[in-house]
Structure 1
């Protein structure tokens, strides 16, 4: 019965996505539906079919399988509440009231150059905490897992993704506005931003962020051309699957960087052979997306105090440089989630959105937060979608905002969500704030002050 239910849900979401009216090929709900299928419906379908057991895959068998009905209820209830919030008329009505204006090319390029400069400096400062960024790249896995502590300025790692924000703005100027003024210089800056962004991805060693952040270029292209372009989509999907399957092996192989490309190739080959000897297969691919389901089992089986809104408070405090200011913050939700599942502090297992709601306010929180989450998505989408053809940088900001909104579904834990998307959030808020400020109104304001 569960097998049929999840299969029907997957088919219904695909048909819904095909049938519903959208102002462009990709909108906020499109990305939400894709990740909802990957993170919740597909793993539970595989679990119900007996192909994979998401709990046994962690080496833990103590959770009560009868909670599968609770999980089914939580998955469907959350989706319908998000949908109710997304299609709430007030969200669209208020979103339409926000008026945006284009900003000058000089100002946009200035922001892009500043982002690129700051990302480059941040990459250098972060790398110096470990003896240089080549050393940081070689030890990216250890740094990510917290096994290799660095200096007091390791918080600069949060800023390296400004390189992506820069590349999006420069790409909009080059490929959407298609200006010929200073094209060679802007092209050089754009290529430089891509190089810095790629190096930043190696330092952070996050597969999903690498895939999605570079995938934004393709999604903007889809919006602009109003076609999916299978000749690009298929290779991108193959590359994404390759990164998911072998990304960890690749990041681990970077430890051979001191020995040059041969050392990297040797480490990668050894890691792949180890995986093949351990029967690494399609099941492992499914388990990559199973952590929200694993977290739901923990949320429904463990005993704990409700976290309420404390995680959002401590997530904001986590941006303070702890080692410089000697600030102690509460351990994030994902830490306790990982303790419940595998009892280790060597890495974190994200909770996913639904489990985060259960950890915070139980069932009432799931209903309330899901509705608000959907409402915010529709508000942001409505605010931006009318300017997709009027403001040349808006397609990138539109898709970037959709990506950030969907990331809350992916991560759940506020601290992980905010720290991963900090650079993107800054870029979005800054550009929207500047574009909402009307020059003639500011002029009248200053004239009034001078009297």
Structure 2
């Protein structure tokens, strides 16, 4: 019965996406709809339909908490609250009042180069903990899983994503401002930034990071052309599915890099053979990347605990500060409790997802507050950025990046969100402060002064 509820929600989301009015083929809510289906109703449907086949033996400890009507209701209601917040009049009004004007392209270019150099320096410093970039890549999966210690230099991992940000901005100069004496230099810098971004993803062994990164360029293309290429879309979908399914095998095989390329291929093939099931490619295996949000939501409803009162937003920010600077150990966050509730230990982390974060924070009222606020922020950001896609040369690239950051919170909690997106958030604020002027248009249509210096 529960599978019918999830299936109805999936169909409703698809219908809403196709019938609603939008200025761009893929906007913030389009990205949200796709990610929401993958993180919530589709995993819920598979679990309700055949829980043993969906999760297998790896999640036996949480099977008792699955197939909950409360969970299905929260997912169903949560989606529509987000949509309500997204289309809130106040969100759109505020977003439309904020006007962004780019400063001279030279300032933006200098900022982009600084960001790239800083990120490259961070890659070098972080890799030195392993004895070099090659060794760091081979141990990327182990470091991500917490099996090896990076020591104090692990702090620099949070700056690696600046390479992806800088490659987006350099793409704006290559495809929008590629004129004058430095055409070749811009192209070389852009290609170098792309390679650096891919290296940073390998250092973190993050499959979803690569998917988000490539999806950003795909979205930018659609923003520029106002059409969805069918062949490219099909290729991207197939690549995404294959990479999510086999990406872990790929990253684990990188440990054979010191033995040569052939050794990496052999390790990859052996890894697939070791993990393969008789049916070959498994859709359930592909979806295993997304079950944790439903498990977390089930757990938030079934366990006994004191409500968190949204304190984890503050704890998430504090988690960015090293313990030695705080003078004490970081407080235990909802990420910690959620993981311990599910698997009984904190050997690795299981993010709550934004719906479970709301439940942990203030039960059902917390769910409403989180979803409404989340949707409101998305609607405001889209209204603010969308109107400048044509008059600010770097805006389509920034728009795609901000959409990714906003969508990513669905599968996160404050600690995991700030840890994973710190560099992107900081770089975005700096770009707005150094590379643009922000104006507020008042009701009388006069432009009040603003800062951007």
TMscore range, shorter length:
over 0.9
Whether the aligned pair in 1 keeps the contact of 2:354 and 2:370 (CA below 8 Å) is no
| Structure 2 partner of 1:347 | 348
Q: State the distance in 2 between where 1:62 and 1:205 align.
A: 28
Distance in 2 (CA, whole Å) between partners of 1:402 and 1:206 is: 19
* Shift in Å, 1:9: 1.6
Find the counterpart in structure 2 of residue 386 from structure 1.
387
The CA deviation at 1:313 is 1.4
RMSD: 2.3
Return the offset for 1:261. Answer: 0.9
What SS class does the counterpart of residue 59 from structure 1 fall into?
Answer: helix
CA distance in 1, matches of 2:334, 2:179: 47
Q: Quote the Cα distance in structure 2 between the aligned partners of 1:325 and 1:3.
A: 47
Contact 2:62 2:295 in 1 (8 A): no
C-alpha displacement of 1:334:
2.3
Report if aligned partners of 2:65, 2:299 keep a CA contact under 8 Å in 1: no
Is this contact kept in 2: 1:55–1:294, CA < 8 A? no
Deviates further, 336-345 or 11-20: 336-345
* TM-score, with structure 1 as normaliser: 0.93
1:436 alignment partner, SS class: strand
Please say which of residues 376-385 and 259-268 is displaced more in the overlay: 259-268
How much has 1:257 moved relative to structure 2?
1.2
Following superposition, the deviation at residue 299 of structure 1 comes to 0.9
CA contact (8 A) 1:126 1:154 kept: yes
Relative distance call for 1:178 and 1:30 in structure 2 (3 A) is: same
User: Is the 8 Å Cα contact of residues 86 and 378 (structure 1) preserved in structure 2?
Assistant: yes
Range with greater deviation from structure 2 (362-371 or 143-152):
143-152
**2:21 match: secondary structure:** coil
- CA distance in 2 between counterparts of 1:379 and 1:367 reads 18
Query: Is 1:17 matched up with 2:17?
Result: yes
CA distance in structure 1 between the aligned counterparts of 2:44 and 2:34, rounded to whole angstroms: 15
Structure 2 counterparts to residues 299-448 of structure 1, below 5 A: 299-322=300-323, 327-411=328-412, 413-434=413-434, 435-437=436-438
- 1:80 is matched with 80
Provide the residue aligned with 1:2 in structure 2: 2
Counterparts of 1:188 and 1:208, CA distance in 2: 26
Structure 2 partner of 1:449: none
Distance 1:228 1:306 in 2: 44
Mapped pair 1:211 → 2:202 = no
Partner of 2:257: 257
**What are the superposed Cα offsets for residues 51-92 of structure 1, whole Å, 9 maximum, x if unpaired?**
744486512256255x62101110112112111111111111
Aligned to 1:227: 227
Q: Deviations over 1:109-144 (max 9, x none)?
A: 101101110011000000111211211111111111
Unaligned stretches of 5+ residues in structure 1: 447-451
Q: Separation in 1 of the partners of 2:135 and 2:371? A: 42
Question: Distance between the aligned counterparts of 2:47 and 2:85, measured in 1?
Answer: 29
Shift of 1:151: 3.1
Q: What do residues 373-432 of structure 1 show as CA deviations (whole Å, max 9, x unaligned)?
A: 111111111111110011110011111111111111121x11111121112112222222
TM-score by length of 2: 0.92
Once the two structures are superposed, the pairs formed by residues 86-235 of structure 1 within 5 Å of their partners are 86-235=86-235
Distance 1:368 1:182, change over 3 A: same
Alignment match, 2:49: 49
Question: Is 1:141–1:205's contact at 8 Å kept on the other side of the alignment?
Answer: yes
Change (3 A) 1:346 1:263: farther
8 Å contact from structure 2 (residues 355, 370) kept in 1: no
Structure 2 CA distance for aligned equivalents of residues 361 and 53 of structure 1:
30
SS at match of 1:100: strand
Does the Cα contact within 8 Å between 1:312 and 1:415 map onto a contact in 2?
yes
CA drift at 1:444: 12
Query: Which of structure 1's runs of 4+ aligned residues deviate more than 6 A?
Result: 440-446
Asked if the contact 2:354–2:411 (Cα under 8 Å) also holds between the matched residues in 1, the reply is yes
Residues 63 and 297, structure 1, Cα contact 8 Å, conserved in 2: no
Residues 102 and 391 of structure 1 are in contact (CA less than 8 Å); yes or no, is this contact kept in structure 2? Answer: yes
Q: Structure 2 unaligned runs (5+)?
A: 440-446
